[in-house]
Structure 1
Amino acid sequence: MILPEAFEKRMKEKLGNAFPAFQQALEEDTPVSIRLNCKKWKVFNFPQTVPWTTDGFYLEKRPKFTLDPLFHAGAYYVQEASSMFLEQAFKQHVDLEESLNVLDLCAAPGGKSTHLASLISEDSLLVSNEVIKSRSSILAENMCKWGSGNVLVTNNDPKDFNRLAEFFDVMVVDAPCSGEGMFRKDPGAVTEWSEENVKLCAQRQQRILMDVWDALRPGGVLIYSTCTYNQLENEDNISWLLDQKEAESLKIETDPQWNVTAVEEKSQYSYHFYPHQNKGEGFFLTVLRKKGEWQPPSTKKKSKKSLLQKASKQEQQALNGWLKNEDPWAFIKHKDTLKAFPKEKLTQIEKLYKNLRVVYGGTELAELKRKNIRPSHQLAMFQSLNKENFQHLEVDKKTALQFLSKGDLQLHELPKDWALITFEEIPLGWVKRAGNRLNTYYPKEWRIRMDISSENY
């Protein structure tokens, strides 16, 4: 790999005698890692774990994920291993037993958001934001497949969060950067790199941090990360923020066997991952706590009509048995759909709907069609789905891929009415009997488009 001259010079100064090992690592194959959704997939066997996370594993080689039904079912997420270090920042500096409001500001395609959703409690709320509209739809798809239910996906500029003063307990800002840590994984990042672009990225990152700072409550935690190595976008930006705002840098305890490069300078702590030291790509992370005392807002009686209208008793009764536990969820009717939202977060969710552009919120359980009720695909993906309440048809891999391609299904038995298609006992979606044939209700926009006819099952 031919590195930009200015980048190579800087990395030689930064790494010293370790630079040849770093350069050699960039010529090696990129490690493949996944993080499991243990609320869905409990039977697995992977020999090598990602050591700084509970549910992360390395694969020996990169499979065709598109041809794995479990991938489409949200049983795991394909995520770069170094970025899973986010878990340590959370576990060491956030009380995960609390009911939290969490913001993932630059969330697409969803790696860190699905991770956060697995870490926070069921009565917490995660806002996953993406400023680019097309990417926000991809983010919404991945959050739906993960199926935690306590997530809102928004499509907003960072400055829009100024409307939500002291709303969030935790913010994750995985800032857009020059991408130096992705050189091995994405050769295009090498050709796009320049010193001028590094400076532009640093300036953009400062704007982002200032735009969202007021939405973090006093005592709240900000986790800042990039996939780049240079000091300008990393330590210098955090030093700049600490000069502008009242905050303290927090230390993360690491295991020496992880080979994480911890940097401490003037009470500022930061953590680097390098491909010659860690089985992963380049990554930087630091944690800040906002200083000050915080008083939770007082609960006031609502004076205006709620945006979230509760479903009628009759509509709620139609959903009896659909979820494993109905207690955490409020059933809301929106037009001709019934949704589940975290019951304890309805006031905060209303505020988000009033101030942000929400792309995806709650879990759509059913569509109301005249006197009929039709289960929604989001329900099939929901971790809280009580699949025993529905007829479910276990299929082999070939049939599963036909279903995911919206092809014709050949089943040994036809369901009585609605039924879940499952693979390795994990739901993939719905079918419905129509006479002697089946109608498939997998979302058209999610279907597998590649030719699967020649695959060896």
Structure 2
Amino acid sequence: METTENSVPASSGRSFRLLCSPEEAPHVEALLQAQGYRFEPEPFSPLCRRLLHEPRPLGASLAAFFGYIYIQDRSSMLPPLALAPAAGSSVLDICASPGSKTGFLAQLVGKNGFVLGNEPSRARLATLRANMHVCNLLSVGTCTCEGQKLPLRPGSWEAIQLDPPCSGWGTVEKHPRVMELWQGEKVQPLVGLQRLLLRHAASLLAPGGRLVYSTCTTNAAENEEQVRFAEEELGLERLPLTPFPGFVWEELPGGEGTLRVDGRRSAAQGFYVALFRKPYSAVESVAEPLPTRTDARPPRRGGKSVGRREQPGQELPREALAGPCCDPSLLPPGRVMLYGDQARFLPEDAARLLPPDMAWQGALLGKFAGGRLHPAPRLRVLLPRRPDAGTALVLDSPDDLTALLSGQSLRTELEGREAALWWRDLPLGRVSLKQGRMTATFS
């Protein structure tokens, strides 16, 4: 076994990503610092930070509540960085919940891109959708299918992320019994599922497209041996990865050009990342017919189940969305469609990549009633770029913001029924007004 030394921060604290524009990053950091958090940059991405001091759980911070940060193990941040999708491109994430990598991919492709996050477990699908909603990632669509049966057109995706179910040996410090639970023959069903997923992912990949395969295990049967399977059986080409700074790496025979994180010495999970490219000569060897639907439920197109009252309604013109808490000019290319009374955003590339009868869901914008949009309280990315004195409340103290979130109302001079809430230069969301008193209900 070969070990590669890189500089690893002395801190063993947790890591997180900033979910904001470069211009907003200093304001998000200021909000964290105002609540007593201290952190430092991660060396492998300008979007990532390492926590140094945590006066209260980071998940309870205001920045986390409003979706400006996402807590994530530092090793888990590597697969999207290894895939490195271009801005404006589209990516398929086959096993997506809770959304750590899905969200990072959405940041990398930007608001003009498209990420389809598939979660095979219906129980975990709600977590994925809730996280993407809080993070205000309008470029993400979600669906729930068995990953090896995703009903997508062969050869249609330029970039695919596959982080399949695995034995999780790399999480042994958090889950001490994991290696006891997944030993010997118990691992074989996982290995078989990973190969089914790899085969189908290869069939969906366009010629010249890139596929990242990653796990949070240190088991060679789920890592290096799967790389050999992808090369020998599926015809994929291994693309050597340059080690990211800030980690200590191991290398096992057969793992050349892949990345194996030494979790203990990297103050992170043990992790494995491999990158492949589909050559033109491999198209016929892995192509599969488009899977057909086998369930009896009616399909869903971008919203809830298509039924008597939930069939897609009309497309909403963008001017119909305008209001004090929504600037429709900030929407990326795509359509806004009604599903019942819900307005959902469908990215432009979705129409090209997804079959018309496929069940999936676009990002929620809010409810459309009485001829107007009532934006979702957490929809901050469509707030006007500057707070308007007549329609926005700007708070300066984290304590005032915490009081509002705890159920207290604030007296304002604002009129109307709704207003935009800001903390200094950060837009936060939509709040209700009644006779000038502001109340917040963020769900």
TM-score range, shorter chain: 0.7 to 0.9
CA contact (8 A) 2:223 2:272 kept: yes
Aligned to 1:52: 44
Work out which of the residue numbers 320, 325, 335 in structure 2 matches 1:315. 320
CA contact (8 A) 1:106 1:131 kept: yes
Does residue 68 of structure 1 match 2:61? yes
Secondary structure of the corresponding residue to residue 421 of structure 2: strand
Aligned to 2:128: 139
Work out which of the residue numbers 338, 341, 366 in structure 2 matches 1:336. 341
Cα shift at 1:189: 2.5
Does residue 34 of structure 1 match 2:33? no
Cα shift at 1:30: 5.8
Cα shift at 1:283: 0.5
CA 204–48 in structure 1, closer or farther in 2 if over 3 Å, else same: same
- In the alignment, the residues of structure 2 paired with residue 134 and residue 387 of structure 1 have an alpha-carbon distance, to the nearest angstrom, of 39
Cα shift at 1:371: 4.3
Does residue 148 of structure 1 match 2:137? yes
CA contact (8 A) 1:263 1:270 kept: no
- In the alignment, the residues of structure 2 paired with residue 307 and residue 419 of structure 1 have an alpha-carbon distance, to the nearest angstrom, of 29
- In the alignment, the residues of structure 2 paired with residue 378 and residue 215 of structure 1 have an alpha-carbon distance, to the nearest angstrom, of 34
Q: Name the aligned partner's letter for residue 203 of structure 1.
A: G
Aligned to 1:209: 198
Q: Name the aligned partner's letter for residue 146 of structure 1.
A: C
Give unmatched runs, 5+ long, in structure 2: 4-9, 31-37, 284-310
Query: In the TM superposition, what whole-angstrom CA distance separates every residue of 1:380-419 from its partner, at most 9, and x where no partner exists?
Result: 3x367546364234263344334445x232x242531211
Cα shift at 1:436: 6.1
CA 138–402 in structure 1, closer or farther in 2 if over 3 Å, else same: farther
Aligned to 1:174: 163
- In the alignment, the residues of structure 2 paired with residue 319 and residue 48 of structure 1 have an alpha-carbon distance, to the nearest angstrom, of 36
CA contact (8 A) 2:119 2:144 kept: yes
CA 317–142 in structure 1, closer or farther in 2 if over 3 Å, else same: closer
TM-score, normalised by the number of residues in structure 2 = 0.79
- In the alignment, the residues of structure 1 paired with residue 44 and residue 202 of structure 2 have an alpha-carbon distance, to the nearest angstrom, of 28
TM-score, normalised by the number of residues in structure 1 = 0.76
Aligned to 1:288: 276
CA contact (8 A) 2:412 2:437 kept: no
- In the alignment, the residues of structure 1 paired with residue 154 and residue 392 of structure 2 have an alpha-carbon distance, to the nearest angstrom, of 47
Query: In the TM superposition, what whole-angstrom CA distance separates every residue of 1:114-141 from its partner, at most 9, and x where no partner exists?
Result: 1111111432210111111121111111
CA 138–414 in structure 1, closer or farther in 2 if over 3 Å, else same: farther
Aligned to 1:392: 393
Does residue 345 of structure 1 match 2:344? no
Secondary structure of the corresponding residue to residue 109 of structure 1: coil
- In the alignment, the residues of structure 2 paired with residue 105 and residue 225 of structure 1 have an alpha-carbon distance, to the nearest angstrom, of 12
CA 136–320 in structure 1, closer or farther in 2 if over 3 Å, else same: closer
CA contact (8 A) 1:70 1:423 kept: no
Q: Name the aligned partner's letter for residue 355 of structure 1.
A: M
Cα shift at 1:87: 4.3
Cα shift at 1:212: 3.1
CA 327–31 in structure 1, closer or farther in 2 if over 3 Å, else same: closer
Structure-to-structure mapping, 1:242-321, within 5 angstroms: 242-254=231-243, 258-262=247-251, 265=254, 269-292=257-280, 309-312=314-317, 315=320
- In the alignment, the residues of structure 2 paired with residue 200 and residue 374 of structure 1 have an alpha-carbon distance, to the nearest angstrom, of 47
Q: Name the aligned partner's letter for residue 73 of structure 2.
A: E
Query: In the TM superposition, what whole-angstrom CA distance separates every residue of 1:108-163 from its partner, at most 9, and x where no partner exists?
Result: 11111111111114322101111111211111111112213111011211133244
Cα shift at 1:233: 0.5
Does residue 196 of structure 1 match 2:197? no
Secondary structure of the corresponding residue to residue 42 of structure 1: helix
Moved more, 209-218 or 147-156: 209-218
Q: Name the aligned partner's letter for residue 188 of structure 2.
A: K
Aligned to 2:408: 408
Cα shift at 1:35: 1.2
CA contact (8 A) 2:94 2:147 kept: yes
- In the alignment, the residues of structure 1 paired with residue 110 and residue 371 of structure 2 have an alpha-carbon distance, to the nearest angstrom, of 36
Q: Name the aligned partner's letter for residue 393 of structure 2.
A: H
Query: In the TM superposition, what whole-angstrom CA distance separates every residue of 1:74-104 from its partner, at most 9, and x where no partner exists?
Result: 111101011222244133xx4x14x422011
- In the alignment, the residues of structure 2 paired with residue 123 and residue 433 of structure 1 have an alpha-carbon distance, to the nearest angstrom, of 33
CA 340–256 in structure 1, closer or farther in 2 if over 3 Å, else same: closer
Cα shift at 1:170: 0.8
- In the alignment, the residues of structure 2 paired with residue 80 and residue 257 of structure 1 have an alpha-carbon distance, to the nearest angstrom, of 13
Does residue 370 of structure 1 match 2:370? yes
Work out which of the residue numbers 76, 94, 100 in structure 2 matches 1:105. 94
Q: Name the aligned partner's letter for residue 311 of structure 1.
A: L
Aligned to 1:448: none
CA 318–338 in structure 1, closer or farther in 2 if over 3 Å, else same: farther
Secondary structure of the corresponding residue to residue 210 of structure 1: helix
Q: Percent sequence identity over matched residues? A: 21
Aligned to 1:123: 112
CA contact (8 A) 2:431 2:441 kept: yes
Cα shift at 1:209: 1.6
Q: Which has the higher helix share?
A: 1
Cα shift at 1:320: 10
Aligned to 1:446: none
Moved more, 430-439 or 77-86: 430-439
CA 189–214 in structure 1, closer or farther in 2 if over 3 Å, else same: same
What's the C-alpha RMSD, in Å, of the aligned pairs? 3.3
CA contact (8 A) 1:69 1:423 kept: no
CA 310–206 in structure 1, closer or farther in 2 if over 3 Å, else same: same
Give unmatched runs, 5+ long, in structure 1: 1-13, 19-27, 295-305, 444-457
Moved more, 40-49 or 111-120: 40-49
Secondary structure of the corresponding residue to residue 218 of structure 1: strand
CA contact (8 A) 1:173 1:225 kept: yes
